[in-house]
Structure 1
C-alpha cells in the first residue's frame, strides 16, 4: 500500500474522506485541508480520474527529521532520485509549512532543488532543468515542526480545473466547490435541479456530470495533447499506460445516456448564458442541460418540486452594489411565492445580505469559497 494525501478546500475534509472511501481508499484520515489515505497504483489513477472534491493527489515518498537547512539538504539527498527523475526530465518544487529555522518557502524550495540536482551531477554528470508550468515531476515538500515530508504530485494541474470550462463568468465557483455544495445538499438525480443565477453554468454542469455518472477527469484526458493538461503521473518513470487506458474505458462504459429529472440554468446576462452553453458542449452534456436567458423577476418554478441552487453576488470581488439588498429581497420573494414544494440552497458570503432574503433557513452549513467564509443556507419552501 502506498501512502497518499488529497488536498481539499478548508471545511470539506470529511466530505472528501467519504468520497475517497467510496472510490476504494483505505485507512482514510481527514486532516487540515486534506485527507490521508492508502491504496495501490490503480486507486491513485482512479481517484485522479473520478474524485470531484480534491485539488491534488500527493504520493508520499519520504519523511525525515528536519531542524534546519543542512538537515533538509541531507534528507533530500538520502532519496535515490534516479527512481523518480532522469536528467532529461524537468522538475518543479512546491513547499508548504515552516519551522523556526526554515521559515521562507522560496529558500526551502531552492535548497530542495539544489540537493536533487547536486545528486544528479555527482552520479550522472548532468542535471534536470526547472520547469514551473508543466514539469515532468512536481515535488511537494512540507515542513511541520521538526519533520519534513516529501511527496510527488500525481495530478499536475489542480483537479478542480476539469478542462471543460474555458469560458467563465465574473466570479465563478471552482468546479470542486460546486460539486461539494451539491454533495452537501443531498440532491439526488431523480430530483429536478434548477439554478436561476447560473452564470457560466458551473452548478448545473457539475450536477449533470454527477447525474450522468461522468468522470470529471475524462475532460483532462481529452485535452492531454497539451502537456499542461495531463495528469502528473503520466510523465512519471513508472507510468502504466495500459492501466490508465483500462480505467478510461471503464469510465466511458459506466456513463449514463439519460437524465431521470431535468437540469436547468438561467441568468439575466445573455453573454454568460452563451458561455454556459459552450461549457456544456465541452462537457458533452449540451443535449441534457437546458440554459436560457431570463431575469430573476421572471423566474417561475418549472415543476411542482425540485432543488433550487444559486450563488448570488455577495459584494466581494464583483464590487459592492447598493442594489444587492433589493436583489436578495427579490430572490426571497421569488422563492417564497413561486417555488412552493421545492427545497432551495443559497450560498452567501455576506450575512447582512442573506438576511434580506426574508426566509428562515432550516439549515446553515459553513463552507469556504476560496478564502472567504460562506454559508450554504437551506430553505424548505411550503
Structure 2
C-alpha cells in the first residue's frame, strides 16, 4: 500500500477523512488542512475521480532535513529523479511552508528545480523544461521546521475545478465548499433541496451531481497521474467504467435554485448544461421576497452577502431580517442553513439557531447557521 496525502480547505479535515474512508482508504490521519491515508493505485485513481471535498492528492516520495537552501539543493539532487522524469518531459515545482532560511516559496521552488535539472545535465547532457501550466510532472514541496516533504502531485489542476463552471457569479463558492455544506447539513438525495440565492448555481449543481452519483472528476480533461511513467491505462479505464455504472438517471427528489438576476441565472443554466443536469436541476427567476417553498419539507442552504467593507453591513440588516421572516412564514417543515461571515448580521435573522458550525470560505472565518422551521 502506498502512502498518500489529500489537501483540503481548513476546517474540512474531519468530513474529508470520512469521505476517504467511504472510498476505501486505510490508516487515515487528520492533519491541518490535509488528511494522510494509505491505499493502492486503484484508490489513488478513484479518490481523484470521485472525491467531492479535497483539492489534490499528493504522493510523498522523500522527506529530509533542509535547514537552508544549500542543504535543500544537495538533498533534492541526490534523489533518483530518473524513475519519475525523463529529460524530454516537462516539470513544475510548487512550494508551501517555510523556515527562517527558506522563507520565500518562489525561491525555494527554484532551488528544487535547479537541483533536478542540474542532476539531469550531469547524467544525460540534457534537461527537462519548465511548464507551469500543464507539466508532465508536478512536484510539491512542503517546508515545516527543518524538514522538507517532497511529493508528486497526482491531480494537476485543483479538484474543486470540476470543469462545468466557466460561468461564475460575483462571489462564487468553491465547488468543494458547496459539497461540504451539503454534508454538514446532513442532506441526502431523498430530501428536496433549494438554494434561494443560487447565483451561478454551484450548490444545486453539487447537490445534483451527488444525488445522481456522478463522479465530479468525470468532466475534467486530464489528471496529472495520466502523464506518469507508471500510469496504468487499463486500471484507469476500469475505474471510470465502475464509476459510470453507479450513476442514476433520475433525481429522487426536487433540487433547484432561484435568483432575481436573469443574467446570473443564465450562467447557472449554462453550468447545468455543461454537466448534463439542465433537465434535472430546476432554476427559476424570482426575488427572495416572492419565493415560495417548492415542497412541504426539505433543506434550504444559502450564502447571502456578508458585507466585508465598512457600511455594507448596515445595508444588509434589512435583507437578513427579510430572510428570517420568509423562512418562518413560508418554509414550515424545512431546515434552513445560512452561511455567513458576519456575527452581527446573523443576529438579524431573528430566529434561534439550533446549531452553529464553524467553516472557512477561503480565508474568511464563517458560520453555518441551522434553523429548524416548525
* TM-score, L = length of structure 2: 0.98
Aligned to 2:203: 203
Q: Does 1:255 align with 2:247?
A: yes
Q: Superposed, which structure 2 residues align to 1:227-238 within 5 Å?
A: 230-238=222-230
Residues 170 and 318, structure 1, Cα contact 8 Å, conserved in 2: no
* TM-score, L = length of structure 1: 0.96
Q: Shift of the alpha carbon at 1:260?
A: 1.3
Residues 313 and 345, structure 2, Cα contact 8 Å, conserved in 1: no
Q: What do residues 95-119 of structure 1 show as CA deviations (whole Å, max 9, x unaligned)? A: 1111222222122111101100001
Structure 1 stretch displaced more, 7-16 or 241-250: 241-250
Q: Does 1:73 align with 2:73?
A: yes
Name the CA distance, whole Å, in 2 between partners of 1:331 and 1:270. 20
Aligned match for 2:365, one of 367, 373, 377 = 373
Q: Give the secondary structure class of the aligned counterpart of 1:356.
A: helix
Residues 171 and 317, structure 1, Cα contact 8 Å, conserved in 2: no
Number of aligned positions between the proteins: 374
Q: Does 1:347 align with 2:339?
A: yes
Aligned match for 2:284, one of 289, 292, 295 = 292
Q: Does 1:85 align with 2:85?
A: yes
Q: What do residues 125-175 of structure 1 show as CA deviations (whole Å, max 9, x unaligned)? A: 100111111111110011111211100111100000000111010000000
Q: Give the secondary structure class of the aligned counterpart of 1:312.
A: coil
Aligned match for 1:308, one of 300, 323, 326 = 300
Residues 171 and 318, structure 1, Cα contact 8 Å, conserved in 2: no
Structure 2 regions of 5+ residues with no counterpart? none
Q: Superposed, which structure 2 residues align to 1:39-78 within 5 Å?
A: 39-78=39-78
Aligned to 2:172: 172
Q: Give the secondary structure class of the aligned counterpart of 1:314.
A: coil
Structure 1 regions of 5+ residues with no counterpart? 225-229
Q: Give the secondary structure class of the aligned counterpart of 2:332.
A: coil
Name the CA distance, whole Å, in 1 between partners of 2:76 and 2:114. 9
Structure 1 residues 248, 115: closer, same or farther in 2, change over 3 A? Answer: same
Misfit runs of 4+, over 2 Å: 316-323
Aligned to 1:15: 15
Name the CA distance, whole Å, in 1 between partners of 2:329 and 2:106. 56
Q: What do residues 71-92 of structure 1 show as CA deviations (whole Å, max 9, x unaligned)? A: 2112111211111111111111
Name the CA distance, whole Å, in 1 between partners of 2:323 and 2:9. 28
Q: Shift of the alpha carbon at 1:320?
A: 2.5
Q: Give the secondary structure class of the aligned counterpart of 2:35.
A: strand
Q: Does 1:245 align with 2:237?
A: yes
Name the CA distance, whole Å, in 1 between partners of 2:354 and 2:176. 25
